[in-house]
Amino acid sequence: MNPIISGIQQVGIGIPDVHEAWGWYRRHFGFDVPVFEEAAEARLMLPYTGGQPQRRHAVLALNMRGGGGLEIWQNTGRVPQPPAFDIRLGDTGIFVVKIKAADVEAAYAFLAGKSGEALRSPIVRMPDGSRHFFVSDPYGNLFQVVKGNSWFSKNGHPHFGGSYGVVLGVRDMDRSLDFYEQVLGYDTILYRETGVFDDFRYLPGGDVAVERVLLKHSRKRRGPFSRLLGDSTIELVRKLSGDVRPIFQDRMWGDLGFIHLCFDVRNMDAVKAVCARHRAPFTVDSSGHFDMGDAAGRFAYVEDPDGTLIEFVETFKIPIVKKWGIFLNLQNRDASRPLPDWMLKALRYSRVKDENGVTAQRRITV
């Protein structure tokens, strides 16, 4: 049985206040459909939490226009820690999350109309000529708004879709290229350039020479959620001189910042075998059934060559219309076929709306 990757399911973000952050991501980027919300103890992440279980509150939110979600994490058992140094371009780990937009100029104007507090650059160009810009959330996490070409639904934010990939710092470009191609299927190089780049000058440490490689997958993603999650890209950045530090150096999983990149998969045992063949063994594996509030499945983690956490999730059950008690069981379905659009579009009935700019709170009892 072959492994199947349906796409980027989500990027995990450690923040100080889960509801405040989710409100910001709803209003600015349209991540307003919750797949789950749960407060519990993370008992299986001991390799990355100092050997002790950690309490956290998490929300996985989607934008129904299509793309990956955001898994918004608040560590509630300890004060989540920021990095002890100023993170700079080329430090290893997830540096920027890509968010797709149908019209980059319209998306920029929308954010500028919100007093421009999120904007970190004008509209600039990548080496392939495509237009993009950088923004940050209130916690200093950086996002790159890029043009997306794969869309799922018109029911969502008027300008933005979901997460579209990441910008990652690496130390050895060829070794990282092999990992992201062989394990995750990013087998096509859109550009590979070296120098000091004008668009990176707006980022911390962006005024130094780097090698940057933009990757995409040539094969169409398959699996139940492939049409919703859509296409994605990964951009690898290697600093050519100077110090390079791990972004999560001396910190724990769930601390502040981008904590992992997660892929939705089917046939987890086959994924495990592929990872082992390419020197990326599972470091965490829930093995059997694992509940995440209203959702359930199996999850596992590997590390890329620089220790960046990659998560795999094989979903067994998700709520389609929770308030009506409608859940979707995926275990007896063809693993390679996408779910019908109408079925996934029913997720919109769980949308959380913000009225008159006031954040709608969805708190649960811990």
- Residue that has been written with the tokens 């659009």 in this structure: 341
Beta bridge partners of 55: 41
- Dig out the tokens for 90 from the structure: 């080329």
Per-residue pLDDT tens, the chain, 366 aa: give them: 789 999 999 999 999 999 999 999 999 999 999 988 888 888 889 999 999 999 999 999 999 999 999 999 999 999 999 999 999 999 999 999 999 999 999 999 999 998 788 999 999 999 999 999 999 999 999 999 999 988 999 877 889 999 999 999 999 999 999 999 999 999 999 999 999 999 999 999 999 999 999 999 999 999 999 999 999 999 999 999 999 999 999 999 999 999 999 999 999 999 999 999 999 999 999 986 555 555 678 999 999 999 999 999 998 877 666 555 566 777 777 778 888 888 888 888 889 988 544 334 443 322
Compute the radius of gyration of the chain from its Cα atoms: 19
User: What single DSSP character describes residue 308?
Assistant: -
Q: Taking the model in full, what pTM does it have?
A: 0.93
The alpha carbon torsion through 163, 180, 318, 44 (nearest 10 deg) reads -110
Tokens of 313: 């999730």
Q: Which residues pair with 228 in a beta bridge?
A: none
Tokens of 253: 């999983």
pLDDT score, position 362: 41
Q: What is the pLDDT of residue 289?
A: 56
Inter-residue contact 95 to 143 (CB < 8 Å): no
Token pair, residue 176, equals 């990282």
d(CA 112, CA 4): 40
Contact yes or no for 168/93 (Cβ under 8 A) = yes
Kindly report the CA angle at 22 between 18 and 27, in degrees rounded to 5?
Answer: 155
Return the pLDDT at 183: 98
Cα distances (angstroms) measured from residue 313 to each of 99, 125, 231, 269: 21, 34, 17, 12
| Tokens read off for 172 | 């050895």
Helix (H, G, I), strand (E, B) or coil at 181: helix
Backbone angles phi, psi at 322, to 5 degrees: -60, -40
According to DSSP, the residues that pair with 217 across neighbouring strands are: none
Q: Residue length, the chain?
A: 366
Contact call for residues 9 and 313 (beta carbons, < 8 A): yes
Q: Which two three-digit tokens encode residue 20? A: 């405040």
Among candidate residues 33, 6, 56, 362, the one with its CA nearest the CA of residue 217:
6
Beta strands in the chain (DSSP E): 4-14, 33-42, 54-62, 69-75, 93-101, 124-125, 131-136, 142-147, 160-170, 188-195, 210-216, 233-239, 257-266, 284-285, 290-292, 295-303, 309-321, 326-329
Report the pLDDT value the prediction gives residue 353, as an integer from 0 to 100: 84
Token pair recorded at residue 356? 């008159």
Q: Based on the number of CB atoms within 10 Å of its own CB, is 173 exposed (0-12), middle (13-18) or buried (19 or more)?
A: middle
What's the rounded Cα separation, in Å, for the pair 344 and 60?
A: 15
Domain architecture of the chain: domains with CATH = 7-350 (3.10.180.10)
- Pick from 204, 207, 217: which is nearest to 85 by CA? 204
Is there a contact between 302 and 187 (Cβ–Cβ < 8 Å)?
A: no
- Round to the nearest angstrom and report the end-to-end CA distance of the chain: 40
pLDDT of residue 323: 59
